[in-house]
Amino acid sequence: MPMMKDEERQPLLGQQAVQNAAETTREDHGKTSKWTSIFPQIQVTDPRFRFLPLIGCLTVLVNEGEYFFKQIGYFRAVEALYCIEYYHVHDPVVAHLGKAIPENMCKIDSIQKKVATANGIVLLVRMTSAFIGTMIVGYLADMYGRRLPLILHKVGTIIYTVVVASTYLGYPYLPIWVSFCGGLGGLIGANFDLNLAILLAAYNDALTSSTQVATYFFITTSMQYVGQVSFPLLAGKAINMDGKGGTPHVSLFISLGMAAAGLVISVLFFPETMKKSEPPDGPDLSDNGGDGKRKGIKAMIAAKAKSIQEGFQRSVQGVGATNVILLIVAMFLATTAIKAVDWLGLIQYPVIKFGWKYNQSTFAMAIQAVIYIFTYFILLPTYNKLGARYGFSPSSTSLTIMLFQ
- Using pLDDT thresholds of 50, 70 and 90, give the confidence band for residue 398: low
Residue 120, Cβ neighbours under 10 Å: how many? 13
SS3 165: helix
What is the average pLDDT across 198-226?
A: 88
Which domains, from first to last, does the chain contain? 49-274 (1.20.1250.20)
pLDDT tens, position by position, 300-330: 667 766 766 666 666 666 666 677 777 777 7
Give me the half-sphere count of Cα atoms (radius 13 Å) on the Cβ side of residue 401.
Answer: 18
Does the pLDDT at position 143 exceed 90? Answer: no
Query: Could you give the CA distance from residue 211 to residue 286 in angstroms, rounded to a whole number?
Result: 46
Long-range pairs, 359-364, Cβ under 8 A, ≥24: 359/236, 359/237, 359/239, 359/240, 359/245, 360/236, 361/236, 362/72, 362/232, 362/233, 362/235, 362/236, 363/232, 363/233, 363/236
pLDDT of residue 247: 92
Crossing angle between the packed helical segments 109-144 and 52-90, to the nearest 10 degrees = 150
Residue type, 342: D
pLDDT tens, position by position, 41-61: 778 888 888 899 999 999 999
According to DSSP, the residues that pair with 207 across neighbouring strands are 44
Long-range pairs, 142-146, Cβ under 8 A, ≥24: 142/274, 145/272, 145/273, 145/274, 146/198, 146/201, 146/202, 146/205, 146/270, 146/272, 146/273, 146/274
pLDDT of residue 19: 52
pLDDT tens, position by position, 5-29: 444 444 444 455 445 544 544 544 4
> What's the chain's average pLDDT?
78
- Using pLDDT thresholds of 50, 70 and 90, give the confidence band for residue 337: confident
Give me the half-sphere count of Cα atoms (radius 13 Å) on the Cβ side of residue 131.
Answer: 7
pLDDT of residue 278: 44
Query: Could you give the CA distance from residue 360 to residue 25 in angstroms, rounded to a whole number?
Result: 57
CB 248 within 8 A of CB 239: yes
Does the pLDDT at position 35 exceed 50? Answer: no
According to DSSP, the residues that pair with 44 across neighbouring strands are 207
pLDDT tens, position by position, 350-387: 877 787 888 888 888 888 888 888 887 788 778 777 77
Does the pLDDT at position 206 exceed 80? Answer: yes
pLDDT of residue 357: 84
- Using pLDDT thresholds of 50, 70 and 90, give the confidence band for residue 80: very high
